[in-house]
């Protein structure tokens, strides 16, 4: 099964925007292999515009020159990814990531480059040309590089098949497709074609759809055609966005299951926005980062690190290597809230093997607060408990209670 557990990895967007380079990917892959791989982290994902030679930050350069092959398929810019020269594409970099025992991923936009259609390039192994597949009336509102496709035509199916054949040759394990998850009903058929091409390329790849918010009433379609999909627009290090995630998590948590995962977006921890300010650091407090990691784990969201990992401090590394917290996504099921107010939230998630229960207490207020889970709310008595961030034991015979700093969380394993 593809994505039996929520995928865990690193994505270049939060720290480098559209300007990530091969050297940056390499150094983060090496860091992951050395420090994070034993804890389940495995995907190294190159985000947007790796095919744009002049990208320098999180902004997009409209109508810029894009690298592509003779069949209208985008290729890594060799000035930023030197190993991609002479048509090698991402295969050398993917091979290097694989040699570290990790998996390699890329970001794509739905559709094809405008210039592929304008130049009437042929589609590989197809009687049709790119201009026959392109839909000039389907353009991303925030990045004009691409045309969507006329998904009722065989030309569109052939083009997507040619894309994923190339990605399989490169050794891609993860594809994040953008400008699509929130574009229902316009992109419903395009999602199906992309999924069909991904599943038919001969290589297992996680298919991730962005950006959100994906429509909740399309959960069935998303579960059928994707492995993960964004439930929010870009998530950054702002408490208002994190507090707002509790409502989204409550609505989407029932759809998390092996093979398909609602995605609360990347983890903006550590060193962020490096292309603009090499000294930039997450604006989240340490309690807020614990709350984020706890909520993502309890709802079983995919976990994608947004930091320049080689700059991790001791707190960030400890946050990302707490094995017992990270196990929640793999070992629990049916995580859900018991109660949420403006001031606090209480979540529970049983362990799949029946050996215990995870319980998370969140202080959503701006003051220190005691958050309590009454014993009557539990389905059975428990003999022992441990708080997983502090490793401290607790007595659950009368329920659980934690006095928490503003925006902080505690999470327990009850047995």
What pLDDT tens digit does each residue of the chain (415 aa) get? 999 999 999 999 999 999 999 999 999 999 999 999 999 999 999 999 999 999 999 998 888 899 999 999 999 999 999 999 999 999 999 999 999 999 999 999 999 999 999 999 999 999 999 999 999 999 999 999 999 999 999 999 999 999 999 999 999 999 999 999 999 999 999 999 999 999 999 999 999 999 999 999 999 999 999 999 999 999 999 999 999 999 999 999 999 999 999 999 999 999 999 999 999 999 999 999 999 999 999 999 999 999 999 999 999 999 999 999 999 999 999 999 999 999 999 999 999 999 999 999 999 999 999 999 999 999 899 999 999 999 999 999 999 999 999 999 999 999 9
pLDDT the model gives residue 64:
87
The candidate with the shortest Cα–Cα distance to 49, out of 107, 117, 103, 118, is: 107
CB 62 within 8 A of CB 55: no
Q: What is the DSSP letter of 162?
A: H
Residue with tokens 């707490």: 322
- Cα-based angle 3, 288, 255 (whole degrees, multiple of 5): 30
At 61 the pLDDT is 85
Assess contact for 110 and 178: CB atoms under 8 A: yes
* Cα gap 329→278, rounded to integer Å: 32
pLDDT of residue 379: 86
Query: Cα–Cα distance between 154 and 292 in angstroms, integer?
Result: 44
> What pLDDT sits at residue 63?
84
- Give, for 108, the enclosing helix (H) or strand (E): strand 103-109
Given a contact cutoff of 8 angstroms between Cβ atoms, the answer to whether 207 and 177 are in contact is: yes
CA distances from 314 to 30, 35, 180, 311, 396 (A): 18, 12, 37, 10, 31
Task: Please check whether residue 342 is in contact with residue 364, taking contact to mean a CB–CB distance below 8 angstroms.
Answer: yes
Quote the tokens at residue 15.
């720290």
Tokens of 139: 């353009």
Contacts of 372 (CB under 8 A, 6+ apart): 361, 399, 400, 401, 402
């Amino acid at each position: 099964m593809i994505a039996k557990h929520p995928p865990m990895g690193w994505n270049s967007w939060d720290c480098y925007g559209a300007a990530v380079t091969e050297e940056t990917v390499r150094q983060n892959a090496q860091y992951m292999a050395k420090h994070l791989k034993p804890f389940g982290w495995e995907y190294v994902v190159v985000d947007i515009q790796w095919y744009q030679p002049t990208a320098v930050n999180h902004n997009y350069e409209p109508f810029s020159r894009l690298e592509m092959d003779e069949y209208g398929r985008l290729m890594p810019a060799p000035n930023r990814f030197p190993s991609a020269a002479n048509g090698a594409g991402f295969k050398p970099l993917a091979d290097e990531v694989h040699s570290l025992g990790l998996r390699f991923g890329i970001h794509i936009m739905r559709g094809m480059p405008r210039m592929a259609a304008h130049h009437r390039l042929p589609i590989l192994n197809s009687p049709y040309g790119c201009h026959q597949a392109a839909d000039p009336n389907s353009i991303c509102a925030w990045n004009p590089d691409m045309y969507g496709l006329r998904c009722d035509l065989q030309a569109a199916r052939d083009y997507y098949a040619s894309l994923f054949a190339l990605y399989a040759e490169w050794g891609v394990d993860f594809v994040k497709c953008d400008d699509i998850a929130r574009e229902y009903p316009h992109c419903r058929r395009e999602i199906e074609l992309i999924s069909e091409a991904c599943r038919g390329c001969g290589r297992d790849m996680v298919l991730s759809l962005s950006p959100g918010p994906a429509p909740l009433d399309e959960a069935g379609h998303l579960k059928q055609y994707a492995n993960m999909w964004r439930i929010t627009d870009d998530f950054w290090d702002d408490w208002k966005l994190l507090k707002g995630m509790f409502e989204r998590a409550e609505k989407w948590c029932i759809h998390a299951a092996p093979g398909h995962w609602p995605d609360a977006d990347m983890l903006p921890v550590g060193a962020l926005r490096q292309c603009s300010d090499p000294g930039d650091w997450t604006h989240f407090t340490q309690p807020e980062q614990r709350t984020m990691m706890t909520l993502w784990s309890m709802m079983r969201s995919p976990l994608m690190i947004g930091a320049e990992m080689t700059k991790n401090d001791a707190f960030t590394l400890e946050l990302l290597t707490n094995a017992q917290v990270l196990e929640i996504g793999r070992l629990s099921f049916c995580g859900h809230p018991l109660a949420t107010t403006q001031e606090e939230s209480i979540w529970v998630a049983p362990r799949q093997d029946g050996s215990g229960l995870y319980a998370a207490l969140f202080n959503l207020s701006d003051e220190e607060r005691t958050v309590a889970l009454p014993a009557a709310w539990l389905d059975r008595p428990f003999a022992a408990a441990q708080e997983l961030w502090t490793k401290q034991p607790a007595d659950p015979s009368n329920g659980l209670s934690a006095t928490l700093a503003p925006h902080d969380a505690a999470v327990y394993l009850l047995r």
